[in-house]
Structure formats: structure tokens, C-alpha cells
Structure 1
């Protein structure tokens, strides 16, 4: 290292086997070599975990490594101190297969090589968790839109270094199929419905987490269901029974489960029918549905609006209140508003009758009209659905009968009036002649007689307007009788058509005996 040094003291920074000797004179005289002195250089040692994660789980395989700074290229001998071990290794690695909680604790190492020596390293604290971790799978959405995709994310809480395996199955009973394996990316996109789960894996050999819980992802089919009402009317009244039905075109024969959106559904049904018994105003609102099958969803249907109103009352109308001789009256029953539909009508006569009229009692026309020829007190009500829902009874309408003699058309009244006048005058003349002859012959010794003749002529009304009987008949009456005086009266009366003409056509003839 050094020679002919006057200084008997030197400093060295390298480990090794050192000896010295002295020399003097010229030529130099050397002493015997000194005994060898071993100098070992101390370097730093540190325990490192081979993996990049510090959270260790039961069952993993781990490797601890003793690293010596500047010890490259040397052959080292190692010593370890560790919990729960009677025979620590003498190599730079401390490998623990299927680690358990008992392996938790402080680990130290030191190494020696020729004239190099380390001190004990600082303690490395190993913590082993008692439970095996479970992966967590989350979905951006549980429904894939038509033609779209959803994002799935897999994670293992509180630890690192994982790669992920992805699995899918078509049903609960089918076997899961590996979609992707050893994926460094914890996020994937899927466009197919199914039952998905994932797991994490790390290390060599690979240590796997517990499988995540299943996540159901349903694919939206392009078909859109239709909501219909049975019966088909949208105007529903309080107390009626109505069925809302979800129909999926092309979905016949498939096992669908249905979802409903409605204003009043605390426990929505899973069938394709929602039956409302004795509907109330609170059942009013919009109804829509969709179907799901395996891992497929239909789109939501368009909304159909149901309106529930108070119980309606039927309305009865008659085209006449009196039955003409040999004729009939037409009755019409209706339910307002006119937008409501599906009604059948029931007819009753007399207040206390609960038996509906039959074809023996009336002539039934189009729905809502009948013709009756009997007098009485009539009422009606509407009914629809199964079971039948009835409206309130209508107001009662009384139908009477008319007894009349129908004459000719009113346009011929002047002709008949002239005929009547001629006949009346002729009759009066005949009566006067008879009376005169009677007085001249047989009646001379008898008490005076009086002959009355009273002829009233009325206008003939239209034969169909039977309700104006006082202007549509001709009455004639001839009365004879005896009085104290021998008198004869004759009177012809024409009907009063106008105030200005009220005395025209009235003629009185008197003959005093």
C-alpha cells in the first residue's frame, strides 16, 4: 500500500488483512513482517419487500430481500432475525409461502463478505391481514341503452398491485366464462347484457381475491311496448274496474317480467296487467311500462293518461210527452260527457220498477233509443264493463196518451168551413120548414115547442198535431125541447182564428112563435 513511510501511523478505509514491517539503512534492512491484522469494513444493510405493496393478506407468498449498499459483486453470508421462525435463511431472500397472521412482526438482516461487514439493518414491520380481500364491481348503469354500452369498474379496497379478471354468464345457473384475464386496467366497457363479476390477482404465484358480487347488466332491445286499457275507454268513472295492460310486439312466448311507472303504485306488479278495482280519483295519471327478460330490457312505453271522474248521471230526453193514437214516442238516453264511450242503456217504467224493459215493452233502435206506446213514468241508466258499472238513474219523464180525431190537413180548412156553413144553413132551413108545417097542422093545440140547433165548426188541424185537439175537430149538436114560449133558435159558430175575425162566421137565427 505504502512504502518507506516515516510516519508509523496510517488510516485505512478498506477492509482487508493488514501487516507491516520496518526497514532502515542503506541498503535497507527489513524486520520480520508483523502479524496480520484483519480489518473489516462495515456497510449498510436494509430489508426490503420485493413487492410494491405493503398490505399483505393471508395466503399470499411474499419475499423479503436483504440489500447491502455497495455489496455488489461480493459473496455475502447473511443472517436474519424474524418472528415465528427457528431456522432463518442464510441467503439474501427470505421467502414466505402462504403467509399467515403469525408472520406479522419485525424483520432484520446483516451480511458479511471477506473483510466487509454490515450492521443489523433497521427493522421492517410486516403486517398480515387475517381476511382474504374481496373485489368490488360497480356499473355505471344497470341498463345498456339501445346500441350503446356501460362501464364496469373493479377494485380491491386499501391495497395495490392488482390485475383483474372479468367474467360473464348468461343466467344464474350457467357457468361463468372468462372474458378478459390479467387486465391491468380496472375499467372496461360492455355492450352485452348478462351477469358480470370480477376478481383481482397479484404476485407469483398469483394470489386471487374473493370474487366480487354479481352485477346484472341488461341490454335494451329496440322494441317499445304499448300500454292499453281494457276496456278501451280513457274516461273512467269512480267505482269502475279497469285493467292497464303492457303489450310487447314480437315478445309473444317469452318469459317477460314487467316494470310499471304510475302515479299510485306502492307495490307495482311484475305481470303485464295492472288491474284497478273500484277506481278512485287518486288513480288518475300517466301509466307506462317496460319488460325485462333474462338480461334484456325493452324501452319504456309511451305514457297513457287515465282520468277518473265522479260517477255520471244518465240523461233522458223524449221527442213528445204524449203518445198519439196508434203511434209511439221516442226516448233517447245518453251519458255526458259525450267523449265517454262503451255504454249500454237500461230502461225502466214506473218509479218502483227494478226490472228493465224488454223487446215486449218497447221497440229498441240504435244504442240509446227506444220507442214506447204505453203511458207511464220512464227513466234510464247506462252500464258498461265486466262486472257492469252503472251510472246514476236519469230524471224521470212522464209519457201520457192522447185521444183525438184527426182531420184533414190545415191547408184545407177553408174548404171544409164552407162545406160546414152550407150544410148548417141547409139544416136550419129544413128545421124551420118542419116547424112551420107542424104549427100549421098537428101542433096547433099543443103547448109551444122550442127547437134548438147548435152547430159549431172548428178548424181541422194537421192530423199529426194531436196535442191541439180543441182546434182539430168538428162538433155538431141538435137539441129539441119544449119551453113555455114557442121559440126556435139556430146558431152556427166558426172557430176563433184571429182576434180581428172572431165574430165572423157566427150566425144566429131566431124565430118567435
Structure 2
């Protein structure tokens, strides 16, 4: 035949000289259920070539893949032989040597609780046998202790109160569904005698000179009764033998330091305890502060005494006052009505071991009336925030100044022009926000009026106030207390309290005392329809004052 031409295209593939290598990660042929396994096909000397890879598993058919064959969670079906080859740029590698992957049931792991290998007598210990990748199988467990015979148990081996005989190595294995695990790696449990603990009485690390102090060395023996001899060490000095209790009858600054103890008995020796630091300080003397703080206190005035203890903070003190009477508090403040000159003292008590010295203040009370009198309108202690109040200084001097101090101001005794309007000897406050405090008049020559207490009820809604006299009342005089709402309406069905004790009152509208006596002095408050007024102090003075 003429006029015809045949072209034959032959594609030639030539083999690369060296077969690939299968690299296994993790770098071991035995892996455990649930592990992640990566097989990587590496070609030496094939750099720059774009390869496609084929993998052959368990001698089955080849499958195309990347150079990595990843099994995220390996299982029994993944056991077998793995090999790879590659094609690229007219090149064809041989099949790699096969790597055999064996998947086994995970070796159990013994988990110890508490986690440390060292435990102390009497503690509760739990050893738990955990199998990774054995979910869904009903396992029975065996434990091997101290290289002795195996015993069947659950996956937890519990020792409620550990003793010396429990020291040793513990391992476990499991059987289930025709499967048998290997023995786990052994966990070593070491049981020791408990480290002693130093107990300090009184319990705080700070004590005061003159107190009695006891340090006690306590050892937890887990039920044993050992005859111990004890040693004590102070500030890491030489040890000295003593009894279980280290007693200091009268502590002083020399005894400050760190104390630790240890014990010996029945061929046993404990470790040294953790050190307890004892700090000895000089006894505290409280400071008694009076408010108001001016020198001239007149009979019948209300005075607050405050007991201040300078310590390092955090101590819960209870307080004692002298002279003590039925109204003496256990708090740091003592509210009295000035009656006569005398001494008032306080001390703090932390516990049966720690008592401060007595702090003393001398209260001088003047029988004569002050050079001026301070009157209040409306004439009561409690007031509402959105109402005005006027205070008037009456006396011979025409240059009286109104002064005060409150809980929100320092004792600088700011004057009326800072918070009100002064007209002659009168001071008017139109809005009483933040104006609760003690008020008095002061002349240019340093004379003072009596002081009065003003309490502002600062709630806008549904408030009630107690109407009580702002000045001391005289024994034998009648007194009427009442309860009013924010509109100044007199309330009925009211309950009154004196020093937080319910008063039996028939009228239920006003509390009337026909002839007041010293026993009527104290705090009063009222309740109405679930609302309660603040409490106010009513002072009572003698007939001759």
C-alpha cells in the first residue's frame, strides 16, 4: 500500500535504582489499640520529582494515596504488612520491603490515688487498673502484690487504712472476650510513718509576752500505740529531749522562733515535722477614744467611747469595759450618757490565752450648763433626706459658729457655710443628704454648746422614722415617742423596741412614758407593716443636773 504512514508512540518507563522505604511512627512495629499510626513512604534520591504513591496492605490490592498512610485510631483490623511504591516523570520504583504492624490490646496502667508513691499510715489508697482501647469489653481483673500470688478483683484495689504491710509493688492484668492483656508495669507503694505535726495553743502564730504557750507534737499512727520519745528543735539549733508537749509557762521575746519535733519508738524514727513559727510581742495596750473629742463634756450629753487595738490585723477581738453594767457591750464601741467624772477602761480578748492590758480614759463631766444651748427644728433625732432642718445657737455671745463632724468627714469640724446657710446664730440645711452626724455651737473664745446627734434616713421610698427627743430628758418628766412616714403622718399599729427588746404597748400608736427613769435610757426603734426605722439613743439625766 502506498500513501500511508504509521507513527508508533511508545512510552518508556524506567525503574529507579532503589526501592522506597516505609518509615513507621511511632518507631515500633507493635502498637496498641487506639493509638495514632503514620506510615511514610520515603524515596532516596528522588528529589524534584512529582510522585504519586501506591500502598499495599495485608498483601491485598494496591491503593493510591499520598506518601503518608495515616491511621488515626488503630484497631485489630489494621494488623498486617504494609509496603509502598511510587510513579513519576517516567519513573517507576519497585515495591518497598514490607513493614509488619502488630496491633495489641493496650498494656494496662496502674493509677495511684493519692498520686505520690509515698503515703503515710492511716491514709486511704486506691490503685486503679486502666486499659486504653478496651471499651465495651467485660473485663475481669487480677492484681499481683509484693510479688505474691495473683488475686482476682475489680479494676480498683482499695486499702482503706494503709499500713507498713501494704508497702511493695502492685501490677494488674485483665481477661475478657477471649483476650488477655499483659501485666502492667509495676507501681511501687511506700508506706511511711506520718510526719509529725506541731500544734500551737493559742492557735495564732502571734502571742504576747506573759502568756502561756503549749506546742504539741502529734503523730498519726493508724491505730498503733507506740511508746514514743520526742525531740524538739528551735531555730534549727541542737535537738533536746522533751515530752510530747513543749510548755512555756510565761512566754517572752526570747521564745520567738521556729519549732519542729520528731519522735523515736519501737525501732522507728519519724522525719522532722514542718516548723511552726512562734512570734512573741510585747503586750498590747488599747487606746480609748471619746467622741465628741472636746474637753468639756456636760452632764446628760451622749458620748461614744471607742476601744482601738493596734495589731497586725485579722484578729477577732471581743471587748470588756469597766465600769461594767447591764448595758456594757462586747463590741469596740460603748455609748454612754455623761453622768459624773470617772474612769472608763477597755481590754480585748482573743481567746482564753490572749488578753490585752487595760486601756484607760478619764471622763470629766461639767455640772454647769454650757455657755450656749443648741436647739433643733424639727425637734427630733431622725430626719428625712428631702426635708430641711434648722439649728439655732442660743446664748450671750452673738458670734457663735455651727460645727459638726460626720462619718464621711475627717474631724476638721467644718462649719455651716460648707454645707448649709447661716443666718445670724441659725444654720439651715435644705437637703440632708450625707448630713448624719454630731452638731454643736462654738464661740470665738472657745466655748461650746451642748452637742446633738442628727440621723438622716436616706431612702426616698417607703421609709419611716422614729420621733424621739434630741436632748436628754430629765428623770420624772413625761416622754412620748412616735413613728411617722415620709409625709410626716403619725402611724398607728406600731411596734416599739427598747435595746432590741419588744415593748408591750397598748396604744399601738405612740409610746408614752409618764415618768421617765434612768432605766428607760437606751436605744429605741419602731416597726410598722414590715418597715423598720433606724434606732436612736434617748439620754436620761438626773433631776438635779
Q: Name the TM tier (shorter chain).
A: 0.3 to 0.5
* TM-score computed with the length of structure 2 as normaliser: 0.32
Q: Structure 1 or 2: larger strand share?
A: 2
* TM-score computed with the length of structure 1 as normaliser: 0.34
Q: Structure 1 or 2: larger helix share?
A: 1
